[in-house]
Chains A and B, each alone.
Chain A
Amino acid sequence: MKLTDDELDMLGGKQGPAKQKAMEFLVQYGEALGAEQFVDTNNVTLTLCPGMEELRSMSPSLNMDEYISKDSLDSDETVVIDKLKAFTTSNATYRDYAYPELQKGGKEACESAYIAEKYCQRIGMVTLNSCTPYQCGNIPTRGEHCAWTESSAIAYCNSILGAKTNIEGGHSAFASAITGKTPLAGLHLDENRKGTVIVRVDVEMDTVLDWGLLGYFAGAQVGLEVPVYTNIKKTPDLFQLMSVGAAGMSSGTIALFHIPGITPEAATLDMVTGGGKNLRVVPYGREERRKTHKILNQSTKDDVEVVVLGCPHYNLERIAAIANLLEGKNVHENTELLITIGNAQKAIADRQGYTDTIKKAGGVVLEDSCGTHLVIDPSKVLASDSAKLLHYIPRMTGVHDTLLGTLEECITAATMGKWTGRVL
C-alpha cells in the first residue's frame, strides 16, 4: 500500500504504540482487501463488549487496557489508549443493567458490559449502545467515509444515507477509530456502488413485514451484487427501510441497495445502473413472498409464549404504537413481551410515558440490549416482526418454533397468547 507521511509516522511509532499497532493491523487488512491506499474517516461505530469469560481469559484482573492490547492490538505489552482519533459510537452488544436475569450471562455479563462501557467512555467513545446509531446521534452525511460494524446499520449507512462503509468487524473498526483511517476499497469506491441486478417487486409493499421479506428474499439471491428494487409504488417509512436492510444482510450480504426515486444515489434507474443494459432481473412476486415467509414462519403451534420486538432497535413511532396498542390491556399470563431499544429512545419513551404503559401491561422494555442476548427457552414458541431476528434466534438459542407477522399481530399474540397472523 502507498502510505502518506502521516500514516508512515503512525506505522513507525512516532505517534505512540496504540496508533503503531493499529496501523500495522490496518496495513495487513488493507492488503487483504487489495487496497492501494487509505482514506480518512471521522465516523466509526463498533462493538466492544467482551463477555466476562473472554475478558477474564485475557486479563484475570479484568483490566480493559490489558484486554484491548491482547485482543485488538495483538500486543502482549499493555498499551494504554488515551483518546480515539475518530468520532466513534458503540453498537448494541451491551446489557440493560436493570434486567440481568433476562439476558444471557446474567449478572456477570452485566458486570463485564459495564466495565467495557466505562472503558469506551474513557477513550472518548459515545456509548449509544445501539444498532441504529443513525437515529440517535451518529448520522453520517452523503459521501462520508465511515468504518461501521453492525450489518443492519451498514446497509442503512450506505443505502439510505449515501455514506460509504464496508462491512467492518470490531477489530478493523477499532483500528480505524484509533488512526482515523480505513482502507480505500470496496464500497468506498464509486465504481463499486452502481446497481448491478434488478429485483422487480410485483407485490404490494405496505408493512414492515413486506419490506423485511423482500430483503430476506433478495439477500439469498444476489450474492455480492448491488440490487436495485424496482416497481416500488409507495414511499417506505423509516422502519420499513431499516427492516429491508437488516433482512438483506441476514440471509445474504446486501451492504448496499438502491430504490430509484427514493434512495440518494438512485435518482433514476438509469443513473444508478450507469445506463446498464441487460441487467439480470430477479422477479419477486406472491410465490417468492410466500416461500420466504415460510422459512421464518415455521411454527405449527399457535400458543405464543415469547414475543420479541425491537430488531433493529425500534424508532419512537413503533414504541408509541406499542404503547397505544397495549393501553388498558394486559400481556397474557403465559406469554412474555420483550422489546429492545437504544438508551436515547428509551429516555424519550420514559418521558412520553410509553415505557410505563408497556410495563403496566406486563411488557419489558430493555435498553441497549439485543434480542439475540435474551434468555429464551428453546422449547418455546416465539413471535416477532423482524426477519433478521427470526433468522438469528433459532441459530443462537435453539428455538425452532418461530412466527413472523406485523407489529399489530405480534401485540395481539402477546395479549391473547395466540397467533392470529396472516398466512401469506
Chain B
Amino acid sequence: MEKLVLKGRKVYGGIAEGYALVMKDALGGMGVYDVSTGTVTESGNHWEGEAVTGKVLVYKTGKGSSSWAGYYKSMASLGTGPVAHVITKSNSQTALGVVLSKIPAVTELDQDPTEVISTGDWVKVDGDKGIVEVTRKQL
C-alpha cells in the first residue's frame, strides 16, 4: 500500500490517527459547526454536511472569529471533535484551538499537506515528532 511520510513542526504533542478531511482553504470556527454532533453546517463550506468527529483535519490555516478555539474546545469536551490537525501554516487561532482540544497537531511540513493528502486517506499524526504518515485510500 502506498505510504507517504511528511515531516514538520509540532504544534501540540500526542499520537492519533483517522481518515483525513482535506480543504485547500482556511478553516473557520464560529458559524461552521453544530458542535453537539461535530457536523459542518456552514453553507458553501468544502466539508458541508460532513462530521469532523474522529477525523484528521487537513487545511491551510485558521480564519474568522477570534472565538475559533472555543468551538474546537467545545467539540473536544463533547467528544464530537476531530482527533488531530495537519495545518499548512498554523496561526494563533489554530495553535490555541489544538492546545485547548489537547490533540496532536503538526504544521510547516516539508510539503503542503493540502496538496498531497486527499480526503479519505488514512493519516497518523505524531505531534511530538512532527511526523504525519499517510496511507492512500483504496481506489
Chain B interface residue count, Cβ-Cβ cutoff 8 angstroms: 35
Contact with A along B69-80 (1 / 0, CB 8 A): 110010000000
Q: Is the CB of A33 within 8 A of B32?
A: no
Q: Tell me whether A149 is interfacial, beta carbon within 8 Å.
A: yes
Q: Tell me whether B96 is interfacial, beta carbon within 8 Å.
A: yes
Of the listed residues B73, B96, B98, the one surrounded by the most CB atoms of chain A closer than 10 A to its CB is B96
**Interface size band for A:** 35 or more
Known: A32-B98, A253-B91, A396-B30. A171 touches B69 (CB 8 A): yes
Among A31, A172, A224, contact of B96 (Cβ-Cβ < 8 Å): A172
CA distance A137 to B90 in the complex (A): 32
Q: Which B residues are in CB contact (< 8 Å) with A250?
A: 64-65
Q: Tell me whether B93 is interfacial, beta carbon within 8 Å.
A: yes
CA distance A223 to B11 in the complex (A): 20
Q: Tell me whether B61 is interfacial, beta carbon within 8 Å.
A: yes
Of the listed residues A31, A34, A169, A171, the one surrounded by the most CB atoms of chain B closer than 10 A to its CB is A169
Q: Tell me whether B12 is interfacial, beta carbon within 8 Å.
A: yes
Q: Which A residues are in CB contact (< 8 Å) with B32?
A: 395
CA distance A253 to B64 in the complex (A): 6
Among A28, A219, A392, contact of B30 (Cβ-Cβ < 8 Å): A392
Known: A32-B98, A395-B42. A170 touches B67 (CB 8 A): yes
Known: A25-B99, A171-B96, A253-B62. A392 touches B31 (CB 8 A): yes
Q: Is the CB of B89 within 8 A of A224?
A: yes
Q: Tell me whether A252 is interfacial, beta carbon within 8 Å.
A: yes
Q: Tell me whether B55 is interfacial, beta carbon within 8 Å.
A: no
State how many angstroms separate the Cβ of A257 from the closest Cβ of chain B: 14
Of the listed residues B9, B67, B95, B105, the one surrounded by the most CB atoms of chain A closer than 10 A to its CB is B95
Among A33, A154, A252, A396, contact of B63 (Cβ-Cβ < 8 Å): A252
CA distance A394 to B41 in the complex (A): 11
Q: Is the CB of A32 within 8 A of B43?
A: no
Interface residues of B (CB under 8 A from A): 9-12, 26, 30-32, 41-43, 60-70, 73, 89-93, 95-100, 105
CA distance A154 to B66 in the complex (A): 9
State how many angstroms separate the Cβ of A48 from the closest Cβ of chain B: 11
Of the listed residues A148, A224, A251, the one surrounded by the most CB atoms of chain B closer than 10 A to its CB is A224
Known: A168-B96, A169-B96. A32 touches B31 (CB 8 A): no
Q: Tell me whether A368 is interfacial, beta carbon within 8 Å.
A: no
Among A34, A148, A166, A253, contact of B9 (Cβ-Cβ < 8 Å): A34
Q: Is the CB of A169 within 8 A of B11?
A: no
Q: Which B residues are in CB contact (< 8 Å) with A125?
A: none
Q: Which A residues are in CB contact (< 8 Å) with B43?
A: 394-395, 400
Q: Which A residues are in CB contact (< 8 Å) with B93?
A: 167, 169, 253
CA distance A149 to B69 in the complex (A): 11
Q: Is the CB of B61 within 8 A of A223?
A: yes
- Residues of A9-32 at the interface with B, using a CB-CB cut-off of 8 Å, are 25, 28-29, 31-32
